[in-house]
Every structure is written in structure tokens, then in C-alpha cells.
Amino acid sequence: MYKAKAYAAKSETSPLAATTIPRREPTEQDVQIEILYCGICHSDLHQVRNEWKEVMPTVYPCVPGHEIVGRVTKVGAGVTKFQPGDLAAVGCMVDSDGTCPECKAGLEQFCANMTLTYNFPDKHLGGVTYGGYSDSIVVDERFVLKVPGNLDLAGTAPLLCAGITTYSPMRHWGVTKGKKVGVVGLGGLGHMAVKFAHALGAHTVVFTTSPGKKEDALRLGADEVVISRNADEMKKHVGSFDFILDAVSAEHDINAYLQLLRRDGNLTMVGAPEKPLPVSVFGLIFGRRSLSGSPIGGIAETQEMLDFCGQHNLTADVEVIPIQKVNEAYERLLKSDVKYRFSIDMASLKAE
């Protein structure tokens, strides 16, 4: 065991502050990584403030962060895929049982015994796992990913959550050239969805309530931008979409988007509104449309996504901040005051 520098919250009302945490020495299958950048996900804020206490109560001290990019510093004797000096990444998971049908299908994100990167029982040291707001992390080789060398590392970090969360359903529902794809909401998730849909060759339409986002949506790769409050604009697209990705976490009228799907079209939710959304079943029955949800992807698919990003030179649009500004970043996140993700330069932790 060794001590690592980190930023942690001591309670649901206390700010994140410098501390030290225990990390295990690498075992035979482990990879030790010096963390260079860590993205800030909205779920970090929810977890730190114990806003998911009914489902996933926070154990303090809490060290968030599951969008991790760094450099390998040490490997266990049994590690075959990595060596010191390699660029590596870690996402939302750090372990699973490896034996259940989900794991055998490469869908570790659905494993009942999955271990999340932070605030989950730590089978090695006891207590809970600690995330990427730290100078280093030790992870089983099976859950470490290779980072293409041509990608900007600060912009790569959010790919480990925002990237795979939008890429996975597009691959599952067959987004390819010739398909018409809608993206609802242009935020941290939505902006990556636009980039992926465009790179996959789809005709990409962004739905937003903010006319001021039109120019940015087109810059990111959208072919069209629809102001969703404009009923006439919405009517033009009725029954025409193969796939719609909904990245909005606020209350909104989902039926307005179901009507835009063609026969056998699908709408997938990746945003998670706090209250249940009313769904018109007739909107699904007529047209054999489907409504689904999707979390992150499995490890193999996450690697595929990173490789795809390497081929197309895709990264998230980020604002890089020092760790000392993380609490300010959380407040700005609540106001959607970032284009489009924060990425923490972990070199700033050395100053603590």
C-alpha cells in the first residue's frame, strides 16, 4: 500500500479539498497509472453531494472521477497489454466477476458484481474505491484501455464516460451512412453524440431550445438544427428519423420526439430526468417504434470507441482547469456554464 495525493469531499456539504488516500501496490494483473487528466462528469457532482442517497449513498471521504487518462508507471508480472510509459485510460468500471453471461458477452457494464471506479466496495483495501481526482490509480489490466497517440489527452478524458455513453447506443442501433439521426440537447453528452453521428456518416439533426446554440451545433457536425419549441419546425420532421439520442436530464415532452421516428425507429435515453416522463403508448404502437435507455459500454466497445476517435481525430471540447478550481467548476456545471466538459490537469495536484 502507498499514499496518493487526491481531492476529496468529507461530507455532502463540504467542498472538495486536498488529502491523501491509500492505493494498493500493483498485484500480478494490475497496472499503476500516473493520472494526467481527469474529466468532470455531472454524476461526480451528484455523488459528492449525496444526491443519489436512495440508490447509491455516498461513503465519505469521496474521491470522484471516472474519466481518467494517464501514463503507465508500473505493471504486475502477469500484465501483457501494457508496459511503463504507455498512455492508458480508465472509465467508470474497474472490475467485474468475469464469469456471468454479461461479462462473457463483453457487456461488463451490466454485470451484477461490477465494481465502479469510485464509491464502491473495494475488495483489495476494504472501504470504498477512490476515483481519478488523484495523482495515481491502480487498476486490473482487464479494465485499462489504450489511448491512441494522436489524441489530445485533455479532450480524451471525457471520452471515457460522455464518449462511450453516446457511442454505445449508436453502434447498438446501427447508426451508419444513410441513416437520419437526431440528437436532443447540446451539452456534455450531446456534443459528443453530434460528433459521432457525423463521423459515422449519418444525416445529423440537433434539437435544442436555445437558438444561440445553432452555430456551435453546425460547427460540431450537425447538418440541421431544429429549435424544438417551434412546432412548425418539428412538424417538418414527423416520421423521418431512424434513431434519436435524447441527452436531456430535465423534464421535457418525450412524445414530441417519438412522433419524429419512422417505422421501427428507436429513441434512446442517455439523459436521466429526475421524475418519470409520461409516454404515449399509441406513439409507440403506431409505427412499431421503440423507446430504450443505455448506460456506458463494455470494455471492448470502449476500446473500439477510442480507436474510432483516433481514426477520426475526435475528442471532447474541454475547458482545462487546475484541481484547485474544482469547486468553482461544480457551481458552473449547475448553470451549464461550460463548453462542453471540464478536464482537470492533474499536474496541478503537485502544488498541494
Residue 140: all three cell numbers together: 486490473
Query: What confidence category does residue 54 fall into, taking pLDDT thresholds of 50, 70 and 90?
Result: confident
CATH number of the 162-293 domain? 3.40.50.720
pTM, full prediction: 0.96
SS3 for 86-106 is CEEEECCEEECCCCCHHHHCC
Give pLDDT tens digits for 121-143. Answer: 999 999 999 999 999 999 999 99
User: pLDDT at position 131, please?
Assistant: 98
Q: Could you report the per-residue pLDDT of 149-199, keeping only the tens digit for each?
A: 999 999 999 999 999 999 999 999 999 999 999 999 999 999 999 999 999
**Tens digits of residue pLDDT in 238-278:** 999 999 999 999 999 999 999 999 999 999 999 988 889 99
Cβ–Cβ < 8 Å for 86, 73: no
C-alpha cell at 127: 472501504
Angle at 279 between CA 274 and CA 282, to 5 degrees: 175
2-161+298-307+317-351: which CATH number, 3.40.605.10, 3.90.180.10, 3.30.470.10, 3.40.50.2300?
A: 3.90.180.10
Segments making up each domain of the chain, as ranges: 2-161+298-307+317-351, 162-293
Distance CA(230)–CA(234), nearest Å, equals 6
Residues 6+ apart with CB under 8 A from 69: 35, 36, 37, 38, 87, 88, 89, 147, 153, 156, 157, 160
* Across 13-36, average pLDDT: 97
